[in-house]
Amino acid sequence: MGGLRPSSLRARLLVFSAAIVVAALALSAVGLIAIFTRQYEARIDAELDTFITQLVAGVAVDAQGTVRLDREPADPRFSRPLSGLYWSITVTGTRQVLRSRSLWDATLSLPPDELSTGLPHRHEVTGPGREKLIVRERLVTHPGPAGAVALRVAVAIDAGEVADAQRDYTLAILPSLALLALALIMAAAVQTYVGLRPLRRLERDVARIRAGRAQTVPRDQPDEVMPLVDAVNDLLADQEKAITHARARAADLAHGLKTPLTVLASLAARLRREGAGPVADDIDAVSGDMRRQIEHQLVLARIRTRAQGRSAARIELKPQIDRLVRTLKQTPAGGVLDWKIAVEPDATLAIEVADLMELLGNLFENATKWAEQRIEVRAKTARNGTVVEISDDGPGMSEEDMAHAFRRGVRLDEQRPGHGFGLAIVEEICEANAIAVTLHQRQGGGLTVRLEQAES
């Protein structure tokens, strides 16, 4: 799924989903614990009411009005001192109090509130061991031989039982909630991965355009990203129109300058026939410089008007190099040299054919100019891309010359033909096509120009 950076949309969605899941489950845990506590307290109250009913059923009143308990509740905690479960029966209007053995010599400190006959009351009081007690009491009227007797019957239980049950329940559900949270977060991660898949596909489609394998972004995209797709395609179309227009203007300019240059050449020829040779030579030199400047600017216009960031299709190098070498062997300078060509069949460069021919043409022309006997051309597919090397056995270059060889108009030897634009154009073409160009001293003498392009 890739690395998750703070700026990543995937990371933001995952963090947001995880936060929502954790918050929802935390609220669920609080709600479940509250429901459990209420249910447990209701069960405690029902149990205490049952004990009250049992106590009332076991009460007997003799002829003197003395109250006794013939049958105690069966729970053994009532017989164990300070067990946390207690009962007491207070005969109203007298000092007679019956109590469970668990109270030992203590009494239940009941609040002095008025009770309605038959209706239970609930209190929280302090027990004999200073613990917090939950008390349920009821005022009942019991018949006797001497008349009815009012009894205040109370049963109390340690409130810590509720806290203990609440703690046990919490510890029981937390692992399940944690597992549920993990499962939901994983589900959110899968959902995010699947939901963002169209964006990854869009990224691959844009990469195909950059690599020159497509011209537009396919329109079979989800509705949510179609505005972006349309905007990118419109931008590409406008860019292509601007490039076509710029190239047409450059071609029109070149065509418009051909006529004045032809006139200058004719004028120089006529002056030479009339005996004004020096003037004719000056005109030829100026017109030649103008022609070379125009050719140079046309090359730069073609390079610089290519769609920014978009690579051309990959071109096989062997056919293009073979064609150039055959042409150069027909020239006087290239025909006397020994050409050693070692180009792997699968060696390619992502570059337009016109740029490739301009690039190799300048490098081969430069090598032909300086070579003494041999030129070697090698091209191979390396682990990370393609490497092309062009070597000659000429005098080579000093480190100082290599440092500024690619500057426009620089000529390292005024005695050799040239106008100083060759290596500058080479650098422009390489920069436009993501090709690294470097100069190296050739082992045994001479110069090697190395071109390297990473696999896109």
User: How far apart are alpha carbons 387 and 400 in whole angstroms?
Assistant: 25
- pLDDT score at 386: 92
Please compute the mean of the pLDDT values over residues 77-88 and round it to a whole number: 91
Please compute the mean of the pLDDT values over residues 196-220 and round it to a whole number: 82
- pLDDT score at 296: 64
Please compute the mean of the pLDDT values over residues 167-175 and round it to a whole number: 94
Q: Where are the domains of the chain?
A: 1-195, 224-304, 314-454
- pLDDT score at 310: 56
Check residues 404 and 452 and name the one with the higher pLDDT. Answer: 452
Which of 237, 245, 188 has its CA nearest to residue 17? 188
Contact 43, 126 (CB under 8 A): no
Check residues 243 and 440 and name the one with the higher pLDDT. Answer: 440
Q: 224-304 is classed in which CATH architecture?
A: Orthogonal Bundle (1.10)
Domain at 314-454: CATH code: 3.30.565.10
- Cα torsion 100, 106, 111, 113: sign: positive
Query: 317-329 vs 353-370: helix axis angle to the nearest 10?
Result: 40
- pLDDT score at 407: 62
Return the DSSP state at 449: E
User: How far apart are alpha carbons 138 and 122 in whole angstroms?
Assistant: 9
Helix (H) or strand (E) holding 92: none
Among the listed ranges 16-25, 254-263, 273-282, 350-359, which one has the minimum average pLDDT value? 254-263
What confidence tier does 431 reach under pLDDT thresholds 50, 70, 90?
confident
- pLDDT score at 312: 64
Query: What percentage of the chain carries pLDDT values higher than 90?
Result: 32
User: How far apart are alpha carbons 46 and 136 in whole angstroms?
Assistant: 9
Give residue for tokens 């205490």. 48
- pLDDT score at 304: 59
| Three-state SS at 447 | strand
- Residues comprising the chain, all counted: 456
Which of 70, 69, 65, 57 has its CA nearest to residue 138? 57
| HEC readout, 14-53 | HHHHHHHHHHHHHHHHHHHHHHHHHHHHHHHHHHHHHHHH
User: How far apart are alpha carbons 432 and 435 in whole angstroms?
Assistant: 8
Contact 340, 448 (CB under 8 A): no
In the predicted structure, residue 420 carries a pLDDT above the cut 50: no
- pLDDT score at 376: 94
Among the listed ranges 79-93, 207-221, 431-445, which one has the minimum average pLDDT value? 207-221
Residue 442 Cα distances to 375, 379, 382, 416, 450, angstroms: 11, 16, 20, 21, 11
User: How far apart are alpha carbons 64 and 186 in whole angstroms?
Assistant: 77
Please compute the mean of the pLDDT values over residues 15-38 and round it to a whole number: 94
Q: What is the DSSP string of 106-140?
A: -----------BT--EEEEEE-TTS-EEEEEEEEE
- pLDDT score at 181: 93
- pLDDT score at 445: 84
Structure tokens at 312: 């051309």
Residue 175 Cα distances to 20, 29, 181, angstroms: 18, 11, 10
User: On the CB side of 302, how many CA atoms lie within 13 Å of its CA?
Assistant: 17
The answer to whether the predicted template modeling score (pTM) of the entire model surpasses 0.85 is no
Please compute the mean of the pLDDT values over residues 320-330 and round it to a whole number: 91
User: How far apart are alpha carbons 137 and 121 in whole angstroms?
Assistant: 5
Helix (H) or strand (E) holding 88: strand 85-91
Q: What is the DSSP string of 146-178?
A: TS-EEEEEEEEEETHHHHHHHHHHHHHHHHHHH
Contact 435, 443 (CB under 8 A): no
CB count within 10 Å of CB 180 equals 15
Return the DSSP state at 103: G
In the predicted structure, residue 104 carries a pLDDT above the cut 70: yes
Structure tokens at 440: 């190296």
Check residues 359 and 147 and name the one with the higher pLDDT. Answer: 359
In the predicted structure, residue 297 carries a pLDDT above the cut 60: yes
Among the listed ranges 35-39, 78-82, 90-94, 157-161, which one has the minimum average pLDDT value? 90-94
Among the listed ranges 114-123, 233-242, 290-299, which one has the minimum average pLDDT value? 290-299
User: On the CB side of 166, how many CA atoms lie within 13 Å of its CA?
Assistant: 17
What confidence tier does 308 reach under pLDDT thresholds 50, 70, 90?
low
- pLDDT score at 456: 63
In the predicted structure, residue 418 carries a pLDDT above the cut 80: no
Q: Which residues pair with 447 in a beta bridge?
A: 392, 441
What confidence tier does 1 reach under pLDDT thresholds 50, 70, 90?
very low
Please compute the mean of the pLDDT values over residues 116-120 and round it to a whole number: 75
